[in-house]
């Protein structure tokens, strides 16, 4: 059996009926199309899939490999090709985050300052909204004039509903922006045509701040602001269950990833135990 355009279309329609997000659907379909391109005129067999898995392992990090395998297995399950499923890689639980990948509070503040210096008020407020509430980029559309007035918003995505409280300081900033932009109702962050901003628009605008802010581009993307919120919240509150609710995670295991600290912080914590003595 070969992967056909019709098979991909049917799978995409299934994902839509399952109410997967646009980003998720785009990612799954891209993974399947890439596999199809790699196969060429060859049929999809277990041996071919194992060869493709080996290629992925050579080219990508384990987590990325597992992400692609999940897309492929979902496609196979939908088409009842159960015997072709391939196993994900076993990855040891990550104890520490990579310091060079995580955005620090100081770097975040430099990004805000850079946005201000470039007079990009919208981006300045978008970054504070994500970092101040922990919402996803896809949830920015729920930050409306009405939500700002009520100091809270209701997020309804993927069949999940949760309330997000908006800090008073953030509401003051957003209220001023709403008045200046003469936005009467609906989403606060919109394009000139009145459409919600895309993830790519925000990502590109944030990258443009890096040189001015003196921050490594590898650290600067919208989702890292959500990570910074999670780490900061957990460092103060130490309540991972409540944090999972705020972030909209179904599993605390997902939340744990957000709260991982770098190895240097852990080393300092161990040194404070006072259990190693240099002199007898």
Helix (H, G, I), strand (E, B) or coil at 241: helix
Task: Please work out, in degrees rounded to the nearest 5, the angle formed at the alpha carbon of residue 71 by the alpha carbons of 68 and 76.
Answer: 125
Burial 114-151 (b: 16+ CB within 10 A, else e): bbeeeebebbbbbbbbbbbbbbbbbbbbbbbbebbeee
Task: Please give the positions annotated as active site.
Answer: 136, 158, 223, 226, 249, 258
Residue with tokens 């509070």: 105
User: Which helix (H) or strand (E) covers residue 153, if one does?
Assistant: strand 152-157
Residue with tokens 């196969």: 39
189: left (phi over 0), alpha (psi -120 to 50) or beta: beta
**Beta-carbon contacts of residue 32 (< 8 Å; ≥ 6 apart):** 3, 8, 11, 71, 72, 75
Q: What are phi and psi of 42, to 5 degrees?
A: -75, 150
Task: Give which of 252, 267, 255 is closest to 231, Cα–Cα.
Answer: 255
| Burial degree of 188 (CB within 10 A; 0-12, 13-18, 19+) | buried
């Amino acid at each position: 059996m070969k992967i056909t355009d019709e098979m991909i279309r049917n799978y995409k329609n299934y994902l839509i009926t399952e109410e997967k997000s646009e980003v998720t659907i785009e990612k799954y379909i891209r993974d399947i199309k890439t596999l199809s391109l790699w196969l060429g005129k060859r049929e999809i067999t277990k041996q071919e899939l194992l060869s493709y898995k080996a290629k992925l392992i050579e080219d990508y990090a384990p987590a990325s490999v597992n992400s692609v395998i999940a897309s492929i297995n979902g496609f196979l399950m939908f088409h009842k090709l159960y015997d072709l499923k391939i196993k994900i890689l076993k990855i040891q639980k990550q104890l520490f985050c990579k310091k060079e990948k995580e955005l620090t509070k100081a770097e975040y503040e430099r990004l805000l300052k850079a946005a201000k210096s470039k007079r990009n008020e919208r981006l300045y407020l978008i970054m504070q909204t994500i970092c101040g509430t922990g919402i996803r980029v896809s949830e920015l559309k729920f930050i409306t004039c009405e939500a700002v007035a009520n100091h809270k918003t209701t997020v309804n995505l993927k069949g999940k509903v949760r309330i997000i409280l908006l800090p008073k300081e953030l509401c003051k900033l957003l209220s001023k922006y709403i008045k200046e932009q003469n936005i009467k109702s609906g989403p606060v962050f919109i394009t000139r045509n009145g459409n919600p901003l895309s993830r790519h628009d925000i990502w590109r605008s944030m990258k443009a701040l890096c040189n001015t802010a003196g921050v490594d581009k590898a650290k600067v993307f919208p989702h890292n602001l959500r990570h910074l919120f999670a780490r900061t919240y957990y460092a103060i509150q130490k309540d991972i269950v409540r944090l999972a609710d705020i972030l909209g995670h179904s599993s605390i295991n997902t939340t744990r990833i957000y709260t991982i600290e770098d190895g240097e912080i852990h080393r300092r914590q161990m040194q404070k135990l006072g259990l190693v003595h240099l002199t007898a």
